[in-house]
Amino acid sequence: MHGEYKVPGGKLVVVDLEVDCGLITEFRLAGDFFVEPDEAIPAIEAAVIGMPADADHAAFARAISAALPPGAVLLGFSADAVATTIRRALAEATAFTDYEWSLVVGPPLTPQQQMAADQVLAEEVGDGRRGPTLRIWEWERPAVVIGSFQSVKNEVDMDNAHRYGFEVVRRISGGGAMFMEAGSVITYSLYAPVALVQGMSFAESYAFLDEWVIEGLKGLGIEASYQPLNDITSTKGKIGGAAQKRLGSGAVLHHVTMSYDMDGDRMVEVLRIGREKLSDKGVKSANKRVDPLRSQTGLPREEIIDRLVATFRARNGLTESAITPEEMERIDALVAEKFSTEEWLHRVP
Residue 278 has pLDDT above 70, yes or no: no
The band of 282, judged by pLDDT with boundaries at 50, 70 and 90, is very low
**In angstroms, rounded to a whole number, what is the distance separating the alpha carbons of residues 32 and 34?**
7
Output the pLDDT for position 264. 84
Residue 170 has pLDDT above 80, yes or no: yes
Crossing angle (nearest 10°) for helices 57-67 and 79-90: 130
Element (DSSP H or E) covering residue 40: helix 40-48
Q: Which of 90, 82, 7 is nearest to 44 (CA)?
A: 82
Question: Structure pTM?
Answer: 0.92
Q: Which of 15, 12, 205, 199 is nearest to 91 (CA)?
A: 199
Output the pLDDT for position 325. 98
The band of 265, judged by pLDDT with boundaries at 50, 70 and 90, is confident
**In angstroms, rounded to a whole number, what is the distance separating the alpha carbons of residues 112 and 103?**
21
Segment 291-299 mean pLDDT: 87
Q: Which of 302, 327, 312 is nearest to 103 (CA)?
A: 312
Residue 285 has pLDDT above 80, yes or no: no
**In angstroms, rounded to a whole number, what is the distance separating the alpha carbons of residues 78 and 84?**
10
**In angstroms, rounded to a whole number, what is the distance separating the alpha carbons of residues 28 and 2?**
10
Task: Assess contact for 97 and 314: CB atoms under 8 A.
Answer: no
**In angstroms, rounded to a whole number, what is the distance separating the alpha carbons of residues 198 and 87?**
8
Output the pLDDT for position 291. 55
**In angstroms, rounded to a whole number, what is the distance separating the alpha carbons of residues 74 and 59?**
19
pLDDT digits (tens, 9 = 90+) for 55-108: 999 999 999 999 999 999 999 999 999 999 999 999 999 999 999 999 999 999
DSSP secondary structure letter of residue 142? -
At 6, the amino acid letter reads K
Residue 270 has pLDDT above 50, yes or no: yes
Q: Quick check: helix, strand or coil at residue 274? A: coil
The band of 263, judged by pLDDT with boundaries at 50, 70 and 90, is confident
Output the pLDDT for position 289. 44
User: Which domains can be identified in the chain, with CATH numbers?
Assistant: 2-90 (3.30.390.50), 96-345 (3.30.930.10)
Ranking 252-256, 281-285, 334-338 by mean pLDDT, the lowest is 281-285
Nearest 5 degrees, angle CA 74-CA 77-CA 78? Answer: 70
Q: Quick check: helix, strand or coil at residue 338? A: helix
Pairing between β-strand 23-31 and β-strand 178-180 as defined by DSSP bridges: unpaired
DSSP secondary structure letter of residue 144? E
Pairing between β-strand 185-193 and β-strand 251-259 as defined by DSSP bridges: antiparallel
The total of other beta-carbon atoms located within 10 Å of residue 286's CB is 20
Residue 202 has pLDDT above 90, yes or no: no
**In angstroms, rounded to a whole number, what is the distance separating the alpha carbons of residues 321 and 311?**
17
